[in-house]
Amino acid sequence: MLNPVRIRSEHSGDNNPGISGSSENKKKEAPPIVPEPETKTFEDKNNLPEAVKVETKGKPKKVNTNPEDHKNIEMDNFFNSANLINLVVKWKYHLLIIVVIAALLSAIFSGPAFITPLYKSYAVAYPANVDSYSEESETEQMLQIVNAQDIVDSVVEKFDLARHYEIDPNYKYFKTVLLLEYHQNVSISKTPFESVMIEVMDKDPDTAARMVSAILDFYDSKVAFLHKSKYLEVINMYGKQLAYKRNTLDSLKNVMIELGTEYGIFEYSTQSQEIMRGYLKTITGPNVERVNTKEVNRLLEGMQLKGGQLIEVVRMIEDEARTYTEVKLDYEMALRFYNSDMTYSNIVTYPYPADKKSYPIRWLIVVVGTLAAFVFAILVLLFIEKRTARKN
């Protein structure tokens, strides 16, 4: 194959004899000038377009310059832990003053001059001598009775709570405010052990203990009233039934007396045997000739006429006497419960006057107030720092 370069050299030598055909003496032609593509530059970085294509590994990527996203990024950076620590260090003296003032104010305003201290007294009791009315437990029944309105009214009246709570009787909503104050200070609940806990908060520890005892006493009185009212109904019912059965027995006895006096019969089995012996003259012994045949015939006639009635009356008397005895036993039991003086609670823990207040919890108020003031101060300082950063 021919070399094209060599051929071109030979032809060049033939046409220009005065010039050597070597490549060293040959003139090189200048390469053509190609214009570079025009590029845009942005001297002001604030005038960037919304989306700028950045070449990354041959793929264009959009850079989002949404102001809302920049705002969120600024807020995240603003609230990070490093900035918060720097903020606390920068304003440490101011924050220290704020915390100390908040603690002092919390301690002052939680004192007895501003908040009346309350003392708690409580009792724990189990119900006793009661039966369930429906599907509720005895403890739930006790809760229902203790919260009855008449017991609340009795406690309010006994301790004159309207004056004790300093509520004006002429106030339009006097009753509502009084009951609200009562239920705020008196708490009755069921414990996990199926007992009932009665708690009373009051500014006077003796009053709190006496109110707990009074609630238990009123509970006993209430249950006693409920039971005795029902026992009285039972007594009246059994009394009427006893009177009716007594009249029935008296009537049957009168029939027996009538059968004995008019017909001479009063005991069917024994008399029947004797009548038949006299009638058949089967009597043996020295008195065999002295049998009163006329009387035997009369008794025999009476037995034939009223013997069946006699048997019926005797059986009725036996049945009525038995049921009369049963009713009388129930009547006496109801009467015994009605006349008894029973209590209906087993007190496990008796109330006593407290020697230490239960409300307010002063240290908790101081801690919460101090922390709230510190957090609020941090938020205010963050707002100030942000505004300063925007202005700069």
Q: Are residues 105 and 124 in the same domain?
A: no
- Please state, in angstroms and rounded to a whole number, the distance separating the CA atoms of residues 297 and 290: 15
Note down the domain range covering 146.
119-225+345-357
Return the pLDDT at 265.
59
In a domain, 240, yes or no: yes
CB-CB contact of 213 with 125 (8 Å): no
329-353 in b/e form (b: 16+ CB < 10 A) is eebeebbeeeeeeeebbebeeebee
Element at 201 (helix H, strand E): strand 196-202
Q: Are residues 204 and 220 in the same domain?
A: yes
- Please state, in angstroms and rounded to a whole number, the distance separating the CA atoms of residues 97 and 131: 65
pTM equals 0.61
Residue 292, token pair as written in the block: 């009163």
Query: CA torsion 358→168→161→190, rounded to 10°?
Result: -60
Q: Are residues 159 and 305 in the same domain?
A: no
Q: Are residues 161 and 243 in the same domain?
A: no
In a domain, 319, yes or no: yes
Return the pLDDT at 26.
42
CB-CB contact of 247 with 239 (8 Å): no
In a domain, 321, yes or no: yes
CB-CB contact of 167 with 178 (8 Å): yes
Residue 255, token pair as written in the block: 């029939």
Q: What is the CATH number of the domain that holds 171?
A: 3.30.1890
Return the pLDDT at 92.
83
In a domain, 58, yes or no: no
In a domain, 179, yes or no: yes
Return the pLDDT at 272.
52
Q: Are residues 258 and 328 in the same domain?
A: yes
Q: Are strands 345-349 and 59-62 parallel, antiparallel or unpaired?
A: unpaired
Q: Are residues 134 and 216 in the same domain?
A: yes
CA 321 vs CA 235, 265, 329, 384: distances in Å: 19, 21, 12, 101
In the block, residue with structure tokens 């041959």: 58
In the block, residue with structure tokens 């009373």: 200
Residue 368, token pair as written in the block: 């919460």
Q: Are residues 380 and 291 in the same domain?
A: no
Return the pLDDT at 207.
92
Low-confidence residues of the chain: pLDDT under 70 = 1-81, 259-310, 392
Q: Are residues 94 and 131 in the same domain?
A: no
Q: Are residues 170 and 216 in the same domain?
A: yes
Q: How many domains does the chain have?
A: 3
Q: Are residues 205 and 353 in the same domain?
A: yes
Return the pLDDT at 18.
42
Q: Are residues 236 and 263 in the same domain?
A: yes
Return the pLDDT at 348.
93
SS3 30: coil
CB-CB contact of 208 with 353 (8 Å): yes
Q: Are residues 209 and 126 in the same domain?
A: yes
